[in-house]
Amino acid sequence: MVKQLRSSRNALRRGPVIALALSVALASVSPVAAQSLSDRFKSLFGGKSDEPAQTNPAPAPGQPPADDVDCPQVTVRAGASTYAAAAPGKQAIGNDVRFQATVTKMARECVRNGGEITARIGVQGRVIAGPAGAPSSIEVPLRVAVVQGGVGEKVIASKAYRITVSLPEGGSVPFTFVAEDLVYPVPSVAVADAYVFYVGFDPQALAPEPKARGKKK
């Protein structure tokens, strides 16, 4: 009987100790389990494929080797970091703003396939409802381009996208988009360092596409 009482007392004493140990363990795991913003954004591009690497053809004269693909830096085009919309007939200023979108973070990844480079451009942003009241679903016009900078800037490739974002009334939500179809020729070594990826809002991306003209009979 005495042994049973001692065993019960010891179990009661160990209970708080175990609970405290669990709480400390959980507290120590939380920071490790929590991904940083940078890590979450990197996950947009997924992990490495389990498929065996394919043998790339020899580069053409004046071209860099396939394992040495120069992936240009990505930046926001000047004047295109925000996009605001207003009601028809109004200007997107002050109390007439229905919503505003902003680019907050970018990333890029390049893969060479023969004489072409396929770029994946990741964009994170945020949409904020304005005082004029935003619709529950909006379209954000985004453009991604690869440009050869310098004197006489040259656009190598450009793509426009429409990103649909659900926006709660009076709210603010993030959005994420990855452009995966930007393809351009491998630049020569002489101009590769002048290449840059530009990201920005482009209202013209929301314009209706021109109708194809029928052939005259």
What domains can you pick out in the chain, each with its CATH number?
64-205 (2.60.40)
162-185 pLDDT, tens per residue? Answer: 999 998 877 899 999 999 989 999
pLDDT at 163: 92
Identify the residue with better confidence: 55 or 36.
36
List of residues 6+ apart from 22 with CB closer than 8 A: none
79-131 pLDDT, tens per residue? Answer: 999 999 998 888 888 889 999 999 999 999 999 999 999 999 999 999 999 98
Q: Quick check: 165 and 175 in contact, CB under 8 A?
A: yes
CA distances from 134 to 90, 175, 182, 200 (A): 14, 16, 31, 21
pLDDT at 152: 84
3-41 pLDDT, tens per residue? Answer: 444 444 444 444 443 333 323 332 333 333 334 445 545
Between CA 107 and CA 27 the distance in angstroms is 31
Strands ordered across the beta sheet of 116-129: 82-86, 97-113, 116-129, 172-185
Region of residue 104 (left: phi > 0; alpha: psi -120 to 50; beta: else): alpha
